[in-house]
Structure 1
Amino acid sequence: MEAMNWPPEHSAVLRELRARGMSYTAIADTINARFNTAYTRNAALGRAQRMGLGALERPEPSLPGYLDPPRPSLMPEPLGAGRLREVRVDPRTDLLRGPDIFTGRVEMPVLRCAEVAPRHLSLLELDCGDCRYPYGGDADGESITFCGHPRRPGSRYCTPHFHLTRDLRSSAKPVLSDAWLAAIGLA
């Protein structure tokens, strides 16, 4: 960026055009046309600020109603003493305890797993033909390791992990039991 010193005649025109309320883009264009210079809008604005002229007053928004305050007729009436809503509180509901359905014991669904003992390789230890099925990473700070057994042709996983992720018979069964569905209100 090159430092530019404005000649006094340029500054005088800037002061005059600023007093007329012109935009800094128009001011820069006028000065450039009159004196054959190449000032930008930002150069004119910066010079005006250094001269203590300050910024122009912001014009009204071009979109009608954009910054207008809301009209009183469009604002909803506040709830007054005569317009109170009746709120019915169920005395059985204890917000801190939660609904009764969550306090009972719910049986967890049986998770499927592959019948393979993983090698627990890090990402850097994996070779091109190793299974990429991840293990770990569930807890904060727990590292993620990978199966590492030879992978199935055309897949990223070994054969047991391929079937685990692609078994349509098992994946067609609902993972959640009837008790879980009832707990969330879907049964």
Structure 2
Amino acid sequence: MDMVNWLPEHSAALQDLRARGLSYSEIADTINATFSTAYTRNAALSRAQRMGLAGLDRPEPSLPGHLDPPKPALPEPPRIGRLREGRAELKSDLLRWPKSFTETVEMPQLRCAAVAPRNLSLFDLKRGDCRYPYGGDADGETMTFCGHPCRPGSSYCTPHFHLSRDPEASTRPVLNDAWLQAIGAI
């Protein structure tokens, strides 16, 4: 990464252009045209963050395909003395903290299977044993498996089979006539 030292007049121009509501791409283009530099959008954004300006409101992006209104011609580059006066006005807006979420969220009722697992390791599982996992959530915690006899056609025992299915979704047929017609099976 190439470290770029911003001259004070470049930083002053950045502050003034950001206060006018220009995007960081437009700011970089304007500074490059004015001072014959080669700043990128990301360089302007990073400098603004270091100056404490990045939290200012962004202008609304234009939608693709719509004509943007004509941009007014930019006046000559800003003077440093004038910007120092305007900087005090921006001070209150510099730090915008993220809004905290204060409303409580009701946790859904968790379902559980009414079966005491045998807690078998992966090596102890035999063909036809339930493979519903237990544990392994924390680092270093071993994962064990239910180990009860499986339901026919499933890798889970009957209580874990029902636990792993959405009761509302499993009552709807998966292959209805409209779906079969769409794929050309009917």
Q: Same fold, TM exceeding 0.5?
A: no
| TM-score interval, smaller chain | 0.3 to 0.5
Calculate the TM-score normalised by the size of structure 2. 0.41
